[in-house]
Structure 1
Amino acid sequence: MPPKKKQTNGSSHEQPTKSEQIAQPKEEPKEAPPSNESKHVKANGASKKRKSPPSSSDEPRKARRSARGIPSTPVDPIKLLNYLLSPSSLDLCRPKDEIEDLKNRGSNIRTYSTSTFTPFEELVCALILSRPIGHMLGLRSIRTIFNPPYEFTTSKKIHEAGFEGVRKALDAARTQHRQKTAEELVGMASMVVKDPEMDEDDLGMSGLRDACEKSVETEREMLGTSTKGLGKTGLDIFGRRVQGVWEEWYPFIDERTAKAVERLGLPGDAGKLREMMEEHWGKLEVKDVEGKGEEQRRKAFVRILERAVGADLEGNIESIKAEAA
């Protein structure tokens, strides 16, 4: 996947993004406004929105505005961290669509919320989630392509499926931007398969790591320049997850996640959140967090971030705080 010549500096310069929910599409939906973790801010001079006439949909909007006015619940940080680390918080941090899918297909299916992914799989997820689609559609797309009958978990499988095969899987996911996402996934996989210096089964991406000498800045630059469609948002999503196994990336919190963490009442600064967790490590319930020693600390850190941003995307920040209290 990486270029044969090492690049030494620079990083993606896309603008920071925001997120919002979108409705589930029917059939092949029309392009919706960017959402999930990838909504770009328009430049100055964009046209103003016209005021919509009153309608029956006004009532739900009023309800949401009043709900946001409810006073925030103060929570002891140790209780909050333990609740986020526990299985009890999970359903508040993922779409109801995923909960229903688990009921229908069984708990053994792989999901972005609970499964352990290889660094290559995390890169596939980051590319999908950086598309301008909603949280529900992004996670459904990941469940669809990583589970039977598709199981596109390696570059070789994606390359062999080709555009038509990957597009078929995305059609099954009933997501948006299927053509572009399929093109980008196949393009990424094809670069790895066709590069004689890369091992198509190198799911840990050690070839990239060796080429970059495990420099975070260089790895971000190489991934950004060699993977079409993977901009700043995608690199941030990848970094947030991969730091659990790539210790050089730890601690890292992207801007989008930092806001969610702060809304919960925790430090949005990566160093300060790490210090808080290390200071109270003996009080944290981490028995079901994978790894030992420093790896377990990193993976607990990642879980806190994932639960925080998931709860924010699902509009459940206050519910998390209320349950933790």
Structure 2
Amino acid sequence: QTISFLLSPAAVDLCRPEYETGDLLRFRENTQTYSTSILNIFEELICAVILSSITSHTLALRTIRTIHNPPYDLTDSKFIRDTGRETIRQALRDAHIPDKEKIAKQIELPKCSTTALQIQAGREIKEEYRVLWSSIKGISKAGLDIFSRRIQWQWLEAFSFINNRDRQAVGLLGLSHDVNELVELVWDHWNKLRRVELDDRKRRAFVTVLERAEGAELESKTDMVLAKAYKASLRTPII
């Protein structure tokens, strides 16, 4: 029942900051957000750099939303190179970032594509991460873990990834800490889960469970998720 609830639209607002839910009421319908949008691997890399560089989680999420949406749309490495640092600075000003110059420089750095990384690293995932770590200044170990968790559904070599913080978050929801058991649990539910936002992929469902479990913990709403999951199970018969 907890897995099913986490993968439902009803869980979204419990697993992201309240301010973001409020802000989205003022923006266009297809606004990209870190918590709900499906991002490409380059966009995820930029997110990891920002989350590594900005200590305030709220400010980091606002920055990600600002640079990934019009009028900036900084979602492609070539576009970022072509647009120049001044455009990046302006996007950061709009997000009210204090250390704009440092972060603008870091955003310019991820110029290697996923393909290039895989060629350099011979497609061994540990070596790919080593190349990533050495190539991009400013990305922290925590940022690399976030990147690893979020891109694993797109990057088969990275699946299945879970770190200690993920284990803690899913454990608070009464789910298994063991990655293999958790993957099996999610996939056992798959036939009951027909959610458009999952992009029709089992690996995406696994990532969504991790993301929303951690989001609920960050927002201190783990107990609320459990309560609502229980109520939902009373309304929905288990097939």
Distance 2:81 2:190 in 1: 43
Letter in 2 for 1:210: I
1:183-209 Cα distance to aligned partner (Å, 9 max, x none): 2112334xx4xxxxxxxxx5xx22212
C-alpha contact 2:125 2:157 (8 A) present in aligned 1: yes
Distance, in Å, in 2 between the alignment partners of 1:142 and 1:314 is 18
Q: Say whether residues 1:287 and 2:195 are aligned partners.
A: yes
Q: Which structure has the larger Rg over C-alpha atoms?
A: 1
Query: In structure 1, what is the Cα distance between the partners aligned to 2:51 and 2:178?
Result: 23
Specify which of 176, 179, 187 is matched with residue 270 of structure 1: 179
Determine which of 295, 309, 319 is the counterpart of 2:214. 309
One-letter code aligned to 1:153 = T
Higher relative helix content: 2
Q: 1 CA distance for matches of 2:195 and 2:202?
A: 11
Q: How does 1:47-196 map to 2 (within 5 A)?
A: 79-189=1-111, 192=112
Indicate the SS of the match to 2:84.
helix
Contact 2:53-2:139 at 8 Å conserved across structures? no
Residue 124 of structure 1 aligns to a residue in which SS? helix
Partner of 1:67: none
Give the structure-2-normalised TM-score: 0.89
What runs of 5+ residues in structure 2 fail to find an aligned partner?
A: 231-239
Q: Report SS of the residue matched to 2:53.
A: coil
Question: Which amino acid is 2:70 matched to?
Answer: P
Aligned to 1:219: 128
Asked whether the equivalents of residues 168 and 177 of structure 2 are also in contact (C-alpha less than 8 Å), the reply is yes
Alpha-carbon offset, residue 84 of structure 1: 0.4
Structure-2 residue corresponding to 1:26: none
Q: CA deviation digits over 1:226-263, x for unaligned, max 9? A: 01111311111111011111111111112222211111
Superposed CA RMSD: 1.7
Residues 142 and 272 of structure 1: CA distance in aligned 2, closer, same or farther (over 3 Å):
same
What's the % identity of the aligned pairs? 41
State the distance in 2 between where 1:241 and 1:113 align: 11
- The structure 2 residue matched to 1:260, chosen from 157, 169, 173, is 169
| Displacement of 1:176 | 4.6
Shift in Å at residue 182 of structure 1? 1.3
**Partner secondary structure for residue 142 of structure 1:** helix
Contact 1:135 1:313 in 2 (8 A): no
2:236 is the alignment partner of 1:324: no
Query: Given that residues 126 and 235 in structure 1 are in contact (C-alpha distance below 8 angstroms), is that contact kept between their aligned partners in structure 2?
Result: yes
1:133–1:176 Cα contact (<8 Å) kept:
no
Please tell me whether the aligned partners of residues 7 and 195 of structure 2 are also in contact (alpha carbons under 8 angstroms): no
Distance in 2, matches of 1:254 and 1:175, equals 29
TM-score, with length taken from structure 1? 0.67
**Does the aligned pair in 2 maintain the 1:289–1:299 contact within 8 Å?**
no
Q: Which runs of 5+ in 1 are unaligned?
A: 1-78, 193-201
Alignment-derived partner of residue 231 in structure 1: 140
CA distance in 2, matches of 1:267, 1:146: 34
**How many pairs are equivalent?**
230
Q: CA deviation at 1:116?
A: 1.4
